[in-house]
Amino acid sequence: MSDERAAANARTRNRGIPDATVARLPIYLRALHTLADAGQRTVSSEELATVAGVNSAKLRKDLSHLGSYGTRGVGYDVAVLVDTISQALGLTQRWAVALVGVGNLGHALAGYAGFASRGFRIAALLDADPDRVGERLHGMVVRHIDELPAVVAEGSVSIGVIATPANAAQDVCDRLVAVGVTSILNFAPCVLSVPDNVDVRKVDLSIELQILSFHESRKAALTSLPSALSDDGEDEYDEAVGP
**Footprint of DNA (CB under 7 A):** 4-5, 8-9, 11-12, 18-21, 43-46, 54-58, 60-61, 63-64, 68-76, 236, 239-241
Verify binding: residue 233, a second copy, rule CB under 8 A: yes
Question: Which one among 9, 12, 16, 180 touches a second copy, defined by CB under 8 A?
Answer: 16
Pick from 2, 13, 37, 53 the residue near a second copy by CB under 8 A: 53
Give the nearest distance from C-beta 65 to DNA in angstroms.
8
* CA–CA dist 117, 170 (Å, integer): 29
Nearer to DNA, 42 or 158 (CB): 42
CB 78 within 8 A of CB 36: yes
Closest distance to a second copy from the beta carbon of 152 (Å): 14
Q: CB 65 → a second copy: shortest distance, Å?
A: 12
Nearer to a second copy, 64 or 87 (CB): 87
CA distance 35 to 30: 9
Stretch that binds a second copy, among 38-46, 124-132, 146-154, 226-234 (CB under 8 A): 226-234
Q: Does 179 bind a second copy (CB under 8 A)?
A: no
155 binds, among a second copy, DNA, none (CB under 5 to 8 A by kind): none
Q: Which range, of 70-78, 123-131, 168-176, 191-199, touches a second copy by CB under 8 A? A: 191-199
Which is nearest to 189 in space by CA: 169, 173, 210, 166?
166
Phi, psi of 183 (to 5 degrees): -140, 130
Q: How many residues bind a second copy (CB under 8 A)?
A: 85
Cβ burial of 62 (10 Å; 0-12, 13-18, 19+) is buried
From a second copy, DNA, none, interface partner of 153 (C-beta below 5 to 8 A by class): none
β-bridge partners, 159: 97, 183
Query: Which bin fits 73, alpha (ψ -120 to 50), beta or left (φ > 0)?
Result: left
Give dist(CA 13, CA 235) in Å, integer.
36
Contacts of 82 (CB under 8 A, 6+ apart): 29, 32, 33, 36
Shortest separation between residue 80's beta carbon and DNA, angstroms: 11
